[in-house]
């Protein structure tokens, strides 16, 4: 008999929280009782899950009684405030924020890449940043073949990375332009419509942004390799959903692009889409709503035989956030189901 679990979703009304619920339903996660949590502002809203209507509750320190798994996507400050209450009440927290990612006692997990780390948790498991997840889905199969020494990456990030309100603002800007009205600008430093903003998150003392440093530090932690040299430039584009990244890597050994293509295409959660003769390559337009990340433009980099360049696109809300969290939960309970 399949064991059922009491699950809480914290931040249930946000873009990622809503997607978590969609994925839990799509993948038929074994749920007994479901509790939907959010801020006081969203409490009282109604959400349907598996044809049953649930009322969103205000998250408090007492929200996690009898909860087995708590999926958090309520922001770092809320995670820091409430996650330990969930752990104290016996739940395992899978947190989508940056709150615990670099804590040495908290595993940072992409299930296709380092599932063994899940079982080293002390009550909290961290979901990596979306850009890190999407990039590493293509890099890990190469790293398995020959250690990756250096990564140079530029990201092309959708409004979805800043949440549901950011997506709404982009839509409102498009409508304002059509109607010859002033565009609203609140979620980003500048108008995003018809623009490219070379800043995602705040700038650090080294002139890199926090988002860029997340990619550096999280990659090293997930791959358990502090010697990988990484440089990232993160950019926001007027795209609703799904991030893209241009990646160049240096490996210890020579690698042929055809070999790289086979390695990547055989890795779970990644699909090679690469037919440049017919202008076929990954794009946000086509990966939105998909679980797999797509990789194309795979080519020998001009730096040398040990260098490879490629392009990757993935749905930031699904594999970059909600799907990865649910996959962690599935891996966590797998040993109990067998």
Catalytic residue list: 130, 243
Length of the chain (residues): 338
- CA-CA distance, 297 to 172, in Å (whole number)? 33
DSSP state of 119: G
Contacts of 245 (CB under 8 A, 6+ apart): 131, 134, 135, 153, 154, 155, 156, 311, 312, 313
Q: Do residues 56 and 10 touch, judged by C-beta distance below 8 A?
A: no
DSSP state of 220: H
Paired residues of 310 in beta bridges: 247
CB < 8 Å & 24+ apart, contacts of 86-93? 86/8, 86/123, 87/122, 87/123, 87/124, 89/64, 89/65, 90/66, 91/8, 91/64, 91/67, 91/123, 92/68, 92/121, 92/123, 92/124, 92/125, 92/332, 93/123, 93/124, 93/125
């Amino acid at each position: 008999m399949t064991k059922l679990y009491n699950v809480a979703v914290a931040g249930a009304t946000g873009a990622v929280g809503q997607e978590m619920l969609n994925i839990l339903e799509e993948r038929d996660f074994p749920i007994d009782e479901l509790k939907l949590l959010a801020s006081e502002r969203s409490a009282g809203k109604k959400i349907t899950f598996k044809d049953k209507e649930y009322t969103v509750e205000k998250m408090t320190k007492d929200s996690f009684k009898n909860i087995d798994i708590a999926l958090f996507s309520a922001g770092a400050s809320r995670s820091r405030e409430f996650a330990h209450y969930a752990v104290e009440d016996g739940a395992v927290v899978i947190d989508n924020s940056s709150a615990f990612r670099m804590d040495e006692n908290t595993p940072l997990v992409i299930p296709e890449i380092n599932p063994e780390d899940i079982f080293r948790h002390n009550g909290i498991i961290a979901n990596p940043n979306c850009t890190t997840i999407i990039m590493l889905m293509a890099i890990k199969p190469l790293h398995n073949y020959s250690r990756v020494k250096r990564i140079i990456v530029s990201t092309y990030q959708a409004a979805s990375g800043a949440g549901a309100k950011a997506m709404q603002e982009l839509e409102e800007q498009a409508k304002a332009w059509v109607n010859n009205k002033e565009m609203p600008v609140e979620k980003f430093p500048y108008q995003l419509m018809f623009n490219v903003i070379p800043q995602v998150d705040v700038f650090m003392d080294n002139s890199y942004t926090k988002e860029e440093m997340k990619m550096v530090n999280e990659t090293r932690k997930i791959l358990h390799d502090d010697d990988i040299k990484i440089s990232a430039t993160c950019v926001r584009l007027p795209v609703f959903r799904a991030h893209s990244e241009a990646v160049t890597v240096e490996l210890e050994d020579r690698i042929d692009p055809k070999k790289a293509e086979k390695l990547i295409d055989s890795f779970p959660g990644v699909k090679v889409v690469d037919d440049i003769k017919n202008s076929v390559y990954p794009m946000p337009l086509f990966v939105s709503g998909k679980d797999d990340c797509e990789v194309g433009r795979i080519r020998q980099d001009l730096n040398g035989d040990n260098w490879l360049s490629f392009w990757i696109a993935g749905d930031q809300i699904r594999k970059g956030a909600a799907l990865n969290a649910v996959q962690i939960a599935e891996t966590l309970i797998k040993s109990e189901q067998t």
